[in-house]
Amino acid sequence: SGALNLTSTATTLILNGVNNSTSTGGINITDLTGITVNTATSVNANTGNLLLTAGTGTLTLSGTAALLSTALVDLTQDLISISATSQIGGTAGFAGSAATVVIDTNTATTTISIAGGTGSLLLPAASLDRVRATNVRIGNSASGAINIASATWTPAANFAATLLTLQSAGTITQTAAINLGARSLILRSAGATLATGGNTITNFAASQTGALSISSNSGLVVSNLTDDIGTVAGIAAAANN
C-alpha cells in the first residue's frame, strides 16, 4: 500500500518499466534533466496517483509507452514528446480512464501550443488523443500564454470526456476553431479570446484577471464548474487564476 518515490539527479532518466499496480500508494518520479519512457514499457500506478516531473528537460513517451492510473496523472516539464501510439491515463491496452490528467509547465512563463498553435510546450492533436481522462487540465497559474489550433481541433472522445481546463498566467487565444462537443470548459487566465468563428463550446466557466471574449456556434451555457483546483462560479474576476 506504500508509495513508490524515485529521484534522479544525473542525465535523462530512462524508464524500462515501473509497476506499483498492487498498491494504492502511487508513483512519484523526478529527474529535472528529463525522463524517457521506452517503447513497450508501462509506468503503472493502478488506482494511485502517478506524478512525473522532468523539470527543464523533456518528458518523452516512446512508441507504445504507457502511463497508467485511474486516479491522477500529473506531468510537469518544459518540453514533451508523446508518441502517437503511446497512452496516458487509464488501464493497459488503451482502456479505461484516469480521473484527471494534468499537463503542467515547469518553468514560469513557458508558453503552450495546443493542436498546432504557437508555443514552446508542444501538444499536437495526435498526442492529446493519447490521453484517456475524464478531466484534463493544461497549464498552471505560472504558465505562459496558451495558443490553440492551427486548424479546427476536435479532440478524441477519450480526451477530457467531461471537462477541459486551460490555465495560464498569460492569455489564452486561438488561431482556428475548436470543437469541444459536449465537454465543459474552464478558462483560468489573465485574459482569453476564443472568438474565432466555428467554435463548439457548451458549458463554460472562467476565472479571469483580464478581458474575456468567447463565441460558440452551439448554445453557450455559463455554468458553475469544478476541476482539480476548485469551483469556478460562472464568470468570475480573480486576483489570480
pLDDT digits (tens, 9 = 90+) for 45-82: 999 999 999 999 999 999 999 999 999 999 999 999 99
**Residue 223 — very low, low, confident or very high, per pLDDT cuts 50/70/90?**
very high
Average the pLDDT over each of 7-11, 96-100, 126-130, 166-170 and give the range with the smallest value: 7-11
**Residue 106 — very low, low, confident or very high, per pLDDT cuts 50/70/90?**
very high
**Cα dist from 11 to 14, 35, 67, 102, 190, whole Å:** 9, 9, 21, 24, 36
- For residue 80, the tally of other CB atoms under 10 A from its CB is 19
Which secondary structure element, helix H or strand E, spans residue 221, and what is its range? Answer: strand 221-222
- For residue 198, the tally of other CB atoms under 10 A from its CB is 12
Q: Which pLDDT score, from 0 to 100, does residue 24 have?
A: 83
State the burial class of residue 136 (Cβ atoms within 10 Å of its Cβ: 0-12, 13-18, 19+): buried
Q: Which pLDDT score, from 0 to 100, does residue 34 have?
A: 97
Which residues, in sequence order, are bridge partners of residue 121? 112
Count of all residues that appear for the chain in the document: 241
**Cα dist from 83 to 59, 60, 101, 129, 141, whole Å:** 11, 8, 17, 10, 27
pLDDT digits (tens, 9 = 90+) for 139-150: 999 999 999 998
Give me the phi and psi of 126, to 5 degrees please. -65, -35
b/e burial code for range 37-53 (CB count within 10 A of at least 16 → b): beeebbbbbbebbbbbb
pLDDT digits (tens, 9 = 90+) for 2-45: 889 999 987 899 999 999 888 788 999 999 999 999 999 999 99
Cα dihedral 174, 177, 183, 184 sign = positive
pLDDT digits (tens, 9 = 90+) for 151-194: 999 999 999 999 999 999 999 999 999 999 999 999 999 999 99
Rounded Cα distance, 180 and 177, in Å? 10
Q: Which pLDDT score, from 0 to 100, does residue 22 have?
A: 80
Q: Which pLDDT score, from 0 to 100, does residue 1 have?
A: 58
pTM above 0.85, yes or no: yes
Cα dihedral 132, 137, 143, 144 sign = positive
Q: Which pLDDT score, from 0 to 100, does residue 74 have?
A: 98
Rounded Cα distance, 83 and 75, in Å? 15
Cβ 204 vs Cβ 221: under 8 Å: yes
